[in-house]
């Protein structure tokens, strides 16, 4: 199986290393340093068990990539449009794309570009921190939840089998929206709080004020989900967020990493999107709103150039 990996960041590196065990992987991206590092030194993943290096083929231009069976979309939410167009270019006519990105919006973009039958969505609860271009540290294991009703799952099965062979814990859920909003609860609570206070995920368990703030944001996001009739895959949003923090305690959230590297964050697709839905439906969203504003203000100070 030939898989196109769109995304050269922490998760792109993690998935590249593991998928290279079981498939031919082409990594496509625009970040030169990461592609050069992968080309010359391989992709490197550091885990508690040691360091694993894998060589994948890299390309900056989709025209160089032979036809692929599947594309995995792991770019930032705001880079989805280009990644979706590249996926369309490199996929075989029956090839499928799976997004494991954060936030609301990327899946809809993928569906628009590829058509609804070829676009799939899941979420990953894993954490990874980019230590250098092409070199990531696993910050916590966790499942990949795929919202894939059994009636229509057949085109996805070969990729699911490879993901499992590569060592990922894939769990199938029937309800796609529940899966997406479940992850959104975690991201809207953990990402901005860890980014603003510049702490790893585990600090939300150690510092009661931060833990209480994250728990309150989780409950607020969950109330927006429930108002739309979405059944979340857990009972207690704050307890779920605490569990994700436990599993990814050593990890730097992706938003904290973005700000540290002077990159734009995914705040618009996370707290910004939840606040917009809350406002539209008359559900109070003061915490999502405040965190969105605070991260936007920090972005204006820190971000060097749009990507």
Query: What distance in Å separates the CA atoms of residue 191 and residue 49, rounded to the nearest whole number?
Result: 27
Query: What distance in Å separates the CA atoms of residue 108 and residue 123, rounded to the nearest whole number?
Result: 14
Query: What distance in Å separates the CA atoms of residue 146 and residue 196, rounded to the nearest whole number?
Result: 30
CB of residue 100 vs ligand KPL: minimum separation in angstroms?
10
Query: What distance in Å separates the CA atoms of residue 274 and residue 103, rounded to the nearest whole number?
Result: 9
Question: Which C-beta is closer to ligand KPL: that of 127 or that of 278?
Answer: 127
CB of residue 185 vs ligand KPL: minimum separation in angstroms?
11
101 binds ligand KPL (CB under 6 A): no
Tell me the H-state helices in 123-169.
157-165
Question: Which part of the chain contacts ligand KPL (CB under 6 A), choosing from 16-24, 249-257, 275-283, 297-305?
Answer: 249-257
Question: Which part of the chain contacts ligand KPL (CB under 6 A), choosing from 47-55, 143-151, 244-252, 277-285?
Answer: 244-252
* Residue given tokens 């439906």 in the structure block: 281
Two structure tokens written together for 165: 């062979």
For helices 176-196 and 208-227, angle between their N-to-C axes, nearest 10 degrees:
150
Number of residues that bind ligand KPL (CB under 6 A): 13
Task: Return the residue of 4, 214, 244, 274 that touches ligand KPL, per CB under 6 A.
Answer: 244
Question: Which C-beta is closer to ligand KPL: that of 69 or that of 299?
Answer: 299
Q: Which of 76, 92, 183, 296 is catalytic?
A: 183
Angle value at C-alpha 206, between 205 and 212, nearest 5 degrees = 55
Tally of CB atoms within 10 A around 93: 6
Tell me the H-state helices in the chain.
10-19, 32-41, 80-90, 106-114, 157-165, 176-196, 203-206, 208-227, 237-247, 254-260, 273-281, 286-302
109 binds ligand KPL (CB under 6 A): no
125 binds ligand KPL (CB under 6 A): yes
Q: Which of residues 14-33 bind ligand KPL (CB under 6 A)?
A: none
Burial (Cβ within 10 Å: 0-12, 13-18, ≥19) of residue 128 = buried
Question: Which part of the chain contacts ligand KPL (CB under 6 A), choosing from 51-59, 184-192, 225-233, 295-303?
Answer: 184-192
190 binds ligand KPL (CB under 6 A): yes
Active site includes 183?
Answer: yes
Question: Which part of the chain contacts ligand KPL (CB under 6 A), choosing from 26-34, 42-50, 213-221, 251-259?
Answer: 251-259
221 binds ligand KPL (CB under 6 A): no
Question: Which residues are catalytically annotated?
Answer: 183
Residues at the contact surface with ligand KPL, assessed by CB under 6 A = 102, 125, 127, 186-187, 190-191, 201, 244, 248, 251, 253-254
């Amino acid at each position: 199986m030939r898989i196109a990996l769109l995304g050269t960041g922490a998760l792109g590196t993690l998935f590249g290393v593991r998928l290279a065990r079981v498939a031919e992987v082409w990594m496509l991206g625009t970040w030169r340093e990461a592609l050069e590092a992968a080309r010359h030194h391989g992709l490197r993943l550091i885990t508690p068990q040691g360091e694993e290096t894998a060589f994948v083929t890299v390309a900056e231009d989709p025209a160089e990539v032979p036809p692929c069976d599947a594309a995995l979309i792991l770019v930032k939410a705001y880079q989805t449009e280009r990644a979706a167009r590249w996926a369309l270019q490199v996929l075989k006519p029956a090839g499928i794309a799976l997004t494991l990105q954060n936030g609301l919006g990327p899946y809809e973009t993928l569906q628009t570009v590829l058509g609804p039958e070829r676009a799939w969505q899941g979420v990953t609860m894993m954490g990874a921190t980019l230590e250098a271009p092409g070199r990531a540290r696993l910050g916590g294991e966790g499942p990949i939840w795929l919202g894939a009703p059994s009636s229509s799952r057949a085109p996805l099965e070969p990729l699911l089998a490879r993901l499992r062979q590569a060592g990922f814990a894939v769990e199938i859920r029937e309800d796609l929206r529940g899966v997406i909003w479940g992850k959104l609860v975690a991201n809207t609570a953990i990402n901005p709080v860890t980014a603003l206070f510049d702490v790893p995920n585990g600090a939300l368990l150690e510092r009661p004020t931060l833990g209480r703030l994250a728990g309150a944001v989780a409950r607020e996001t969950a109330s927006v989900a429930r108002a739309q009739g979405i059944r979340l895959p857990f009972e207690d949003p704050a307890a779920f967020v605490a569990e994700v923090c436990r599993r990814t305690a050593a990890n730097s959230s992706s938003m904290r990493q973005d700000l540290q590297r002077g990159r734009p964050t995914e705040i618009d697709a996370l707290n910004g999107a939840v606040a917009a839905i809350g406002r539209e439906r008359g559900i109070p969203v003061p915490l999502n709103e405040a965190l969105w504003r605070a991260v936007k203000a920090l972005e204006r100070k820190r971000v060097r150039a749009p990507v």
